[in-house]
Homo-oligomer: A and B are copies of this chain.
Amino acid sequence: MSDPLIIALDGMGGDGAPDIVVRGAAIARERLPQARFLLFGKSELLEPLVAKEEILKDCLEIRHTDQVVTGDDKPSYALRYLKESSMRKAIDAVHDKEAHCCVSAGNTGALMALAMFGLRTLPGVSRPAICSFFPTRKGETCMLDLGANVECGADNLVQFAVMGEVFARTVMGIAKPTVGLLNIGTEDLKGRDEIRLAAAMLRQSALPINFAGFVEGDGITAGVVDVVVTDGFTGNVALKTAEGMSRLISGFLREAFQSSLPAKIGYLFARRAVAKLRYRVDPRRYNGAVLLGLNGIAVKSHGGTDDIGFANAISVAADMYLQGFIEKMKVDFETLAGEGTAVDASATTGVAS
């Protein structure tokens, strides 16, 4: 608890900002006594909120910014015209080594663009990816890419596998994470060319990756591997389909408990158990999509999250810093670069549109 941990926060990003950002920081501070915050945004809005949180009194500094990246701003627009925005300033703080990591619940596309521009990718990484958690029977699994890259070649998938493996080792605390490629069958001949090629590359690689082959859609929540690798299009569809299914069943459950008098009585008895169930699939627990592959730590909180979800996103960012995520990534990508041509030669085999 000795070394300071400095976290830059985009005070204006997300549907519930700035309230959820400030309250989220207060909750995170309880878990991380060494944390200090740089909070970027409109000081006239932030000051009264911060004043209400006793715990933040000596560990939070407000940095005033006028500009805000809205949900509708195109990434290119944010990059060119919103250089004084709270989102950009939070990223710059990481780049300038004022902060160890940053968190924003704002516009994903803009955050991705600003973070790529501001932090650059790590040596050897062609494209960063968005990574997040899924609940599983055994605990949780992480999946990437969830939407940063619409088209991915085999080389991208291999890089995602490396990034995801390091993430699972450092943030999820799994000593030897298993890694699988999302596919429509587990047999060697199934699926798209770039996926089969990526599998061959991962099997040949000297990297100490515990590659488990192909995983199907239902393998994600079954927890058959710790890291699920896919392209950003498929990953985004899978993530949102799973969220939609979860919401559908929650709605049906609510209706079921209100459908009759016995059901209502049953709910009174079972409500603690049901609350536990809700907790197990609570999207707030799985909040915090990480932009992996950057030369710096940037975490994206879900735009519609509340304070607890935002605090969880802060915890993810803090974990990545405290566990030395960036340094571990550098080591693995040096190994991958050492394998040279096998990986580079495949750079042209991706899907062409």
Contact = CB atoms under 8 A, between A and B. Distances in A.
Nearest to A277: B256
Given A281-B249, A351-B351, A184 B256 contact: no
How many copies altogether?
2
A270 B234 CA distance: 38
Contacts of A150: 184, 191-192
Contacts of A135: 248
Interface stretch (A83-91, A113-121, A204-212, A236-244): A236-244
B251 A249 contact: no
Instruction: Tell me the dominant secondary structure on chain A's binding face.
Output: helix
Contacts of A240: 216-219
A328 interface: no
Interface stretch (A50-58, A257-265, A290-298): A257-265
Given A147-B184, A184-B236, A247-B221, A277 B252 contact: yes
A235 to B, nearest CB: 9
Contact of A219 (B151, B239, B244, B268): B244
B267 A270 contact: yes
A222 to B, nearest CB: 6
B270 A256 contact: yes
A217 B241 contact: yes
Contact of A277 (B184, B192, B241, B253): B253
Interface string A136-163: 1100000000010011000000000000
Contacts of A267: 266, 270
15 contacts: A147-B184, A150-B192, A191-B233, A217-B239, A217-B241, A219-B244, A220-B244, A241-B242, A241-B245, A255-B277, A256-B276, A262-B269, A262-B272, A267-B270, A270-B270
A246 B249 contact: yes
Interface in A274-290: 274, 276-277, 280-281
Contact of A281 (B192, B221, B252): B252
A293 to B, nearest CB: 19
Contacts of A248: 135-137, 221-222, 281
A1 interface: no
Contacts of A270: 256-257, 262-263, 265-267, 270
A221 B234 CA distance: 17
A268 B135 CA distance: 28
A61 B139 CA distance: 51
A203 interface: no
A213 interface: no
Contacts of A274: 256
